[in-house]
């Protein structure tokens, strides 16, 4: 049966791809480097800031030591916070609050699994009044790997089981909600069915990768999903 729903963050909870693109571009300029057209989407979309920066620097023949990488990540996180602080309204996706309430009413456990930093996730969820919905957060500073590796999803399952010892949660009893191909692959690699939401890629592309695909949160039919999981068990 369906026991938990695991949300990606960037591109699923908050529409902030353009913000991250601008901040990474500025960070590169400050390091006397420049992004090529389309390079952010090619290298960074769906991946952690850590993986994104390492790859961008590697492409330019520059190796980032851990200390230097951490400094860049902190600068990026601070710039992200400052940017959001300047916004009157956060660019959350329409229907998110209603979906979270529906999932909570169904007594499902909820978690965030993202390559974003803890500070960024908590800032957004707290300001939006949504943090109480989530039982666990796995962020980019919790793990060294990035999607499409499944480590973040596996850690989320572990943490939910620690919070609820009687849950005995397995990947097949979770639903991941993702918007990128790397994220969908990560969930599948962890044995987790995936619902792709067409916030970043067109629906017809997601349909090739995800278990289910929808255009918006409003198109999610929870009862049908629960019936699928129950039928799969039977």
pLDDT tens column, 145-155: 999 999 999 99
Query: Exposed/middle/buried for 228, CB within 10 Å: 0-12, 13-18, 19+?
Result: middle
pLDDT recorded at residue 74: 93
pLDDT recorded at residue 231: 80
**DSSP state at residue 45:** T
Give Cα separations from 150 to 65, 113, 176 (angstroms): 24, 10, 11
Task: Evaluate if residue 42 carries a pLDDT over 70.
Answer: yes
Choose among 118, 124, 123, 120: nearest CA to 92: 124
The 10s digit of each residue's pLDDT in 74-108 is 999 999 999 999 999 999 999 999 999 999 999 99
Helices 49-59 + 66-85 axis angle, to 10: 120
| Helical ranges in 86-221 per DSSP H | 96-105, 118-127, 151-163, 181-189, 203-209
Domains of the chain by start residue, with CATH: 4-14+92-233 (3.40.50.1000), 17-85 (1.10.150)
∠ at Cα 228 (225, 234), nearest 5°? 145
Q: Which two tokens stand for residue 169?
A: 């949660």
- What's the whole-model pTM score? 0.93
Omega before residue 83 within 30° of 0, cis: no
Q: What count of other Cβ atoms lies within 10 Å of the Cβ of residue 135?
A: 17
Task: Evaluate if residue 234 carries a pLDDT over 50.
Answer: no
The 10s digit of each residue's pLDDT in 111-144 is 999 999 999 999 999 999 999 999 999 999 999 8
The 10s digit of each residue's pLDDT in 166-197 is 999 999 999 999 999 999 999 999 999 999 99
Mean pLDDT of 200-218: 97
């Amino acid at each position: 049966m369906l026991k938990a729903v695991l949300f990606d963050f960037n591109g699923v909870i908050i529409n902030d791809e353009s913000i991250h693109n601008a901040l990474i571009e500025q960070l590169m300029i400050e390091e006397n480097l420049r992004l090529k057209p389309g390079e952010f989407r090619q290298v960074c979309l769906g991946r952690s800031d850590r993986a994104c920066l390492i790859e961008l620097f590697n492409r330019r023949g520059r190796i980032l030591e851990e200390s230097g990488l951490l400094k860049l990540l902190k600068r990026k996180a601070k710039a992200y916070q400052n940017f959001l602080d300047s916004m009157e309204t956060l660019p959350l996706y329409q229907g998110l609050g209603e979906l979270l309430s529906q999932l909570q009413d169904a007594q499902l456990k909820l978690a965030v699994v993202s390559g974003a930093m803890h500070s960024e996730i908590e800032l957004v969820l707290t300001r939006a009044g949504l943090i109480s919905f989530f039982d666990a957060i796995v962020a980019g500073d919790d793990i060294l790997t990035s999607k499409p590796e499944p480590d973040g999803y596996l850690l989320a399952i572990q943490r939910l089981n620690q919070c609820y010892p009687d849950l005995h949660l397995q990947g097949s009893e979770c639903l991941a909600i993702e918007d990128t191909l790397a994220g969908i692959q990560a969930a599948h690699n962890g044995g987790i069915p995936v619902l792709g939401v067409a916030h970043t890629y067109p629906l017809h592309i997601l349909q090739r990768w995800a278990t289910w695909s929808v255009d918006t949160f409003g198109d999610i039919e929870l009862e049908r999903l629960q019936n699928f999981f129950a039928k799969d068990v039977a």
